[in-house]
Amino acid sequence: MKKIFPILAGLALLLTACENKENKEPVAPETDFSDVAVRIEPIITKATETNFENGDAIGLTISREAGVYATNEKLVFDGTAFAGSLKWYAEGGDKATLAAYYPYAAEVPTSFTVATDQSAAGALAACDFLSAVKADVLPSANAISMVFKHQLSRIVITVVNNSGAAIDAITLKGLNPKATIAADLTATATEGTTPVDIKTAKSGDNYYAIVPPQTVSIKAAVEYLGLTREQQLTEAELLAGKQYSLTIVVNAADIKVILAGEIENWTDGGEITGQPEDPDNNEHLDEGYITYAGDKYNVVKMDDGKWWMAQNLRFVPAGLTPASELTAVTAGIFNPLKVNDGQTALEFTNDADIIAANGYLYQSEVALGLNVGDLTTVAAAEALEGTQGICPKGWHVPTIADITGLVGKAVSPITTNTEAPYYNGSNGSIALLNADGFNIEAYGAITIQDNTKTTGTFMGFMSSYKDHLTSSMMIGSTYAGVTYNTSNDETSGVKNLQFYGLMPMTNKATEADYTCNGTKVSYRIAGPVRCVRDAE
């Protein structure tokens, strides 16, 4: 397999009981689960080339308020879930925290060392350390879903070979091979460890190395033509869970090495599609703005007590290009919309001023830090609530709690929060929001009903209000619903997933009547993203 590390008992595990069957009734808290085996359904949010295989084992610790219930229990993967001899405790209403790590060891690891020769068969996979934590978990007859994350860093090397000779080996020199594993199963480079040379693994056209997160000045060495050519790189910071791109240009007489920097988060769904750690990513809350990926965004603290972006994201994840075709149903990101010059319909635009004002339109999987096509289960969708996604570090894609806490109203079955500061007694009010600096309007959307559709349609134009966009669907992170290819048959596969988002509507006679309520957004619809700052 490609490895995953269960998170240790000391971790603040974040497990929630997810049912495999959409319509299964919840079990009453007083149910005795002492004869029910503990089963863990692993979710790996965009872990490149990483999957569990039959026979892989994790270590699981379960802690309750009354104390530790199980420590480093071995669970083995059966192709669907991890399971073993461990049974739940009898008290079905008592919540627990679960922590898991991969690969299993006789004791919960406090350190982890990567191989110096990662070119050998299976060596690269054996260097991967993953963990997962989940809190507030109740015993369940169903498997508990846990999101496993890479805790080390990965370097991907692309070779431009102008030498005419075969490359014999590529080695990265001066790296710390040892990581200290904290109680929460996160990894940091172990201080005082002697740097080593790491021989990289070749797969396809690229070379790979997995190392502990560290600040390092790497020297790259390439063996070819019976010679070894080396080049020293400037200092770089390698962060946990991140992947970095290294390009080596090989000439007959020399090599040139370029470290392009972080290109994607290796495991976390809030960052997998290309979240940059830009030195300009800074908060200036007292001045009402933040900087992120080289752009400045106005922010405002609303009367719900939370900081919100007062502008939509205009960040383009690595490897993606904004599309301007309705047939690009899996593009992930689209250019914004505008009313055409004849005021008869909507059209795409790449006008820089409109992009700056309205941002791009994102499909949910990309907004939530994944690639289009990654979400295939309800459990995976549920696990993304409150994820960072493509938002800046310390911010997240809005949850339904964020939405109702702000505007009060959302579609059924969400209960209206009549105490929300921007609820006017009937709807969330754009006029009230904008009076406090929220700066929201309708931005349009690309409607793609489900994953069987081959073309989308424009949303947001009405001939009665042809001078402006009249509606939008803005992306959120709380799971809202599912349909399957065969109605109510989970085994037939997911056809559509929905998340709760925001729906500004300006199809009214006056701006005072414009509304902004919570709505359900199908995951292939492309809409704007506006981020909320995490709670302190």
Tell me the pLDDT tens digit for each residue of 495-518.
999 999 999 999 998 999 999 999
What is the model's pTM? 0.53
Question: 3-class secondary structure for 428-452?
Answer: EEHHHHHHCCCCCCCCEEEECCCCC
Tell me the pLDDT tens digit for each residue of 388-436.
999 998 999 999 999 999 999 999 999 999 999 999 999 999 999 999 9
| Cβ atoms < 10 Å from Cβ of 504 | 25
Question: How far lies 434's CA from each of 35, 408, 465, in Å?
Answer: 56, 16, 20
**pLDDT of 380 strictly over 50:** yes
Give the residue extent of every domain in the chain.
Answer: 37-150, 153-265, 282-323+333-533
Question: In this structure, what token pair is assigned to residue 345?
Answer: 């319909």
Res. 44 pLDDT band, cuts 50 70 90:
low
Res. 268 pLDDT band, cuts 50 70 90:
very low
53-63 average pLDDT score: 92
Cα–Cα nearest to 362, from 294, 316, 293, 297: 316
Pick the CATH number of 153-265 from 3.40.470.10, 2.60.40.10, 2.60.40.2630, 1.10.3660.10: 2.60.40.2630
**pLDDT of 346 strictly over 80:** yes
**pLDDT of 22 strictly over 80:** no
Higher pLDDT, 225 or 409: 409
**pLDDT of 262 strictly over 80:** no
**pLDDT of 344 strictly over 90:** yes
Structural element, H or E, at residue 264: strand 255-265
Q: For residues 111 and 490, what is the distance between their CA atoms, to the nearest angstrom?
A: 41
Does the fold of domain 153-265 match that of domain 37-150? yes
The CATH fold of domain 37-150 = Immunoglobulin-like (2.60.40)
Contact 52, 158 (CB under 8 A): no
Which residues fall within 8 angstroms of residue 51, CB to CB, at 6 or more apart? 1, 2, 44
